[in-house]
A = this chain, B = another copy of it.
Amino acid sequence: MCQLLGMNCNVPTDICFSFEGFSTRGGKTDDHRDGWGIAFFEGKGCRFFLDAKPSVFSPVAEFVRHYPIHSTHVIAHIRKATQGKVTLENCHPFRRELWGRYWVFAHNGDLPGFDPKDFSFYQPVGNTDSEKAFCLILERFREYFPQKKPPLEKLYSVLKEVSEKLAQKGIFNYLLSDGEHFFAHCSTKLSYIVRQAPFAAAHLIDQDVTVDFSELTSPSDRVAVIATTPLTDNEVWTQILPGELLVFQDGLPHKFP
């Protein structure tokens, strides 16, 4: 299994604090040692850092922990391999282009026996169930909406249907974004917190680090952080219910009927 970290905000924000705690779980406070990755959207552009090394030892992760990249949509992942060997092409997040936008996906869980072969447009490069599930989601998107991105409600409805089918095959918690919308699907375990004014101090669970967000923010800022398990021990995180698909926009969660 793996762990997920996501961030969605109304103004570009750095994820250094959350990534500091999260990446500690990649070999120190937890055993997700089989690679890691993080994707930052900057407008339609997308920046990626991946490494098959454990995140606690990876020089690339060390760089990301200390270099503040400001983004409104971030997806990160630390891997504990269940399917697919420990290699760069099996590190999440994965990325493909659809409708002239980059789509980024990371998965926590395991889909035993899910091994489709009949990809028509997007083919997996590695050999994880996760990348195959991502390809399948984008194939469905293309089938339903071949020309361009539909209104959010329509996209949500197709994604919900595909997600429910895939979740029947195992554990399927995931984060998915194109830099405009940010989807979070809970199959078994996923939590989030929305930080907004009045901001307070937050203390990491995995390291003895505290940040006082009131010193770093403007009153109108709003930041949602989504993670497999809470990253801080002095804030109240909300558990997403199993089967729920949330869409974050400007740091707030939404769902559709």
Contact = CB atoms under 8 A, between A and B. Distances in A.
Contacts of A44: 89, 125-126
Contacts of A124: 100
A221 interface: no
A29 to B, nearest CB: 25
B45 A88 contact: yes
By DSSP majority rule, is chain A's interface helix, strand, loop, or mixed?
A: mixed
Contact of A88 (B47, B90, B91, B99): B47
A47 B36 CA distance: 12
A100 B123 contact: yes
Q: How large is the interface on A (under 10, 10 to 19, 20 to 34, 35 or more residues)?
A: 20 to 34
A142 to B, nearest CB: 9
A87 B47 CA distance: 12
Contact of A48 (B48, B52, B97): B48
Given A43-B87, A43-B89, A125-B101, A59 B48 contact: no
A173 B62 CA distance: 36
A42 B50 CA distance: 11
A126 to B, nearest CB: 7
A162 interface: no
Contacts of A50: 45, 47
Interface string A216-244: 00000000000000000000000000000
A126 B67 CA distance: 25
Contacts of A125: 44-45, 97, 100-102
Interface string A35-75: 00000001111111111100000011001000100000000
A123 B45 CA distance: 14
A213 interface: no
Nearest to A124: B100
A125 B95 CA distance: 13
Contact of A45 (B89, B100, B121): B89
12 contacts: A42-B52, A44-B125, A45-B90, A46-B89, A47-B50, A48-B48, A63-B63, A97-B122, A99-B123, A101-B125, A102-B125, A121-B121
Interface of A: 42-52, 59-60, 63, 67, 87-91, 95-97, 99-102, 121-126
Given A45-B50, A45-B91, A60-B63, 10 more contacts: A45-B88, A45-B90, A47-B48, A47-B50, A47-B51, A48-B48, A60-B67, A96-B97, A97-B122, A99-B123
